[in-house]
Structure 1
Amino acid sequence: MPRRPRLWFELILIAVSYGTYSMIRNAAPDRSAQAQEHARWIWDVQGALGLAFERSVNHAVEGVTWLIVSMNYYYATLHFVVTIAVLVWLFRSHPGRYGATRLVLFATTGVALLGYYFYPLAPPRLMEGMDFIDTATVHNTWGSLSAEGSTMASVSNQYAAMPSMHIGWSLWCGITICVLARPLWLKILGALYPAVTLLVIVATANHFWLDAVGGMICLGFGYLVARWWYGRACYRLPRQVPGPRPAARTAAAAAS
């Protein structure tokens, strides 16, 4: 049975969980040679499928300065801003579904760590001899992960590209908004958000499209975990947390 979420507990839980996630993700072994091999393998697989389009998109969008700079900032910021906004909305408007839906996100992120640790992957922007453009570095965008000597480069694992949590988190946001939001315009934005995110991660050369598939698989695992834990799909739980039973209310009134 869902319980009413407590703000102080949720803030601590999210802070500790994200700190742990970042620590483990960035502590994964820096195996650059293996990461390059994996990137080449993924590129060859996509080529065999006739879907190795990342470089073409990267070069095409790079030619439109205002667009690629906007995408760079989109990549660096909305990943966190939108996810936190959806969590706050769930906490305030759907407290009965908050815990289960939050568990989906946590389980998705947790299983992604296995990919980061056991499958180091160079993102397209770091592939050797492939002529991808690192758009954040070229345009000196805040949040560049590969600028030499930058703070971001020193604290971030450059080879944690598979799976893409930009896709995992954005798809979680999009599904949650599409299912639970009432205004049509908000549902449309929810549907567009992961689609635009996919374009951004490819155009900025931060991910292959197969990284996005990995993120989707992790999200599917997250929904299965929440379904198993709560016994129902997270969105089918009651919107509001049931109030205390009459006996409990009577006892509480007597105690006061």
Structure 2
Amino acid sequence: MSSSSPNLTVPIHQPEWNSKPAWKLPGWAEPIMVASILFAAMYFTRRRNYSILPRRAPYTSFLDAPDSARSSDDLLPYEAVSDSDEDAAFTASTKCPPKRRRWCGFTVYTPNTSRFRHHLHSRLLQKFPFLVEMLYWIINYAFYRMTSISAQALFAKTGIWNVAQRHGLWILQFEEYGPLSWLFPLKERDVQRWFMAGHQDALTFLNRTYALIHIPGTVGFIAWYYYAAPSHRTFAIARRTMTLTNFLAFATFVCYPTMPPRLLPAEYGFLDSVRHDDAQSVWMSGRFVNALAAMPSMHFGYAFCIGCTLLWHSTLLRARWGGLERGEREKSLLGKIGYVALGFGYPALILTTIVATANHYFLDAAVATLYVFFAFAANRVFFVFIPLEDWFLWCIRAEKPVPSTGERMRGGEREG
């Protein structure tokens, strides 16, 4: 299959824009929005009846048992923690022998950081355990920022722009003439033309949706589910799935740069409605942003993962199969309808958005879906980093906090 085909081109005809560009948010608005979500999550998921400053002389607790495995975020169940709980669970042992870990079939020993439990930053993390999740996503974002530099270095000789354009045209040709063309009955160009022909205000709305939903919406979901999940083990599965999907996508961004439809030459029939509406997100602009990262669509990858989680959280099927977790109750009929509607509606909205705005191809969404399934099946691969986490905590002299997820279902929210 060649990289381009004359059959993909169309007569150049630029339709008239009748709608006005959307009002552009100030540059500070999106960071303020995300910061507000994060600080609200810190507050609502804080550990109640726990003081950052010790109220009495140092003591040991069940949190500080020498064989503690808390550097893994979900290998053990978690219980609500308070200063009084620590007193009640006093243990005589004051030694901190190394932790014994299983790593790739081997036994390794790592430092026991429980000796640092009274350090101020350890107690700050114990009070606000969501800070750990914020750190994880900062690392994710840093890796994304590096994909542009890595891809440019990899394709420095051939020219990344030309390579990305060839990849974009190959996708169009694969969807239209490839052996799986029956999976793509709709064409991206036709979807955008429908919006341009009498529905331009809706397209303007979708442009704004594309800019504003991806980062704030995903951060908001992480914050909400950290609070709402029945257990941290369940939350961690969703978070690890999204994280592994991220890294699979990052590798693809570097090795297979792909030009989004809106940046293809005009003869292929796409309009850059994003530029017309000035709908570029502040998070997706700047020196390190990878504009040639259409494959796969992480907008849809996140949305699909969120949608699946909402369907699971609805308890629609689990209640009948006896799959409810400890302390979890079956959702009301209205709650089930709401979660199911969001579970299907949110990915559908994002799919419509990424195609109508010509930011992604249908194949981008299909590959993102496959990545999510694979990441869900293989998300436990992140357990190999547990020893590294132990050493990192040792270096910063901190003890990892017990997550507060699920405390409200175990009665923890009634304390304090």
Fold shared, TM-score > 0.5 on shorter chain: yes
Could you say what secondary structure the match of 1:40 adopts? helix
**Alignment pair present for 1:159 and 2:292:** yes
Match of 1:221 in 2: 374
Range with greater deviation from structure 2 (211-220 or 28-37): 28-37
The TM-score normalised by the length of structure 1 is 0.80
| 2:140 corresponds to which of 17, 23, 38 | 17
Range with greater deviation from structure 2 (179-188 or 193-202): 179-188
Percent of counterpart pairs with the same letter? 26
State how far apart, in whole Å, the 2-side matches of 1:115 and 1:175 are.
23
State how far apart, in whole Å, the 2-side matches of 1:32 and 1:139 are.
24
The TM-score normalised by the length of structure 2 is 0.51
Range with greater deviation from structure 2 (4-13 or 98-107): 4-13
What is the root-mean-square deviation in Å for CA atoms of aligned residues? 2.5
Match of 1:197 in 2: 350
Match of 1:38 in 2: 167
State how far apart, in whole Å, the 1-side matches of 2:76 and 2:297 are.
30
Match of 1:130 in 2: 268
Match of 1:248 in 2: none
Match of 1:89 in 2: 224
1:174-210 superposed Cα distances (whole Å, 9 cap, x missing partner): 0001111331212211211111111111100001100
State how far apart, in whole Å, the 1-side matches of 2:280 and 2:140 are.
25
1:68-102 superposed Cα distances (whole Å, 9 cap, x missing partner): 11100111111122222221122112242122211
| 1:77 corresponds to which of 212, 216, 233 | 212
Q: Tell me if structure 2 keeps the 8 A contact 1:137–1:144.
A: no
Query: 1:120 offset after TM fit, Å?
Result: 1.1
Larger fraction in helix: 1
State how far apart, in whole Å, the 2-side matches of 1:190 and 1:136 are.
27
| 1:211 corresponds to which of 353, 364, 373 | 364
Change (3 A) 1:136 1:195: same
**Alignment pair present for 1:168 and 2:301:** yes
Match of 1:233 in 2: none
Which residue identity is paired with 2:365?
Answer: A
Which residue identity is paired with 2:137?
Answer: I
Match of 2:113 in 1: none
| 2:193 corresponds to which of 42, 54, 59 | 59
Q: Tell me if structure 1 keeps the 8 A contact 2:240–2:382.
A: no
Match of 2:203 in 1: 68
Change (3 A) 1:125 1:3: farther
Match of 2:414 in 1: none
Change (3 A) 1:26 1:83: farther
Q: Tell me if structure 1 keeps the 8 A contact 2:214–2:299.
A: yes
Which ranges in structure 2 are unaligned for 5 or more consecutive residues? 1-74, 79-125, 153-158, 315-330, 384-404, 408-416
Could you say what secondary structure the match of 2:285 adopts? helix
Match of 2:151 in 1: 28
Match of 2:281 in 1: 143
Change (3 A) 1:118 1:228: closer
Which residue identity is paired with 1:157?
Answer: N
Q: How many correspondences in the alignment?
A: 228
- Larger Rg computed on CA atoms: 2
Q: Tell me if structure 1 keeps the 8 A contact 2:301–2:365.
A: yes
Change (3 A) 1:196 1:2: farther
Which residue identity is paired with 1:216?
Answer: T
Change (3 A) 1:19 1:227: closer
1:191-249 superposed Cα distances (whole Å, 9 cap, x missing partner): 1111111111110000110011111111112101225668xxxxxxxx847xxxxxxxx
Could you say what secondary structure the match of 2:258 adopts? coil
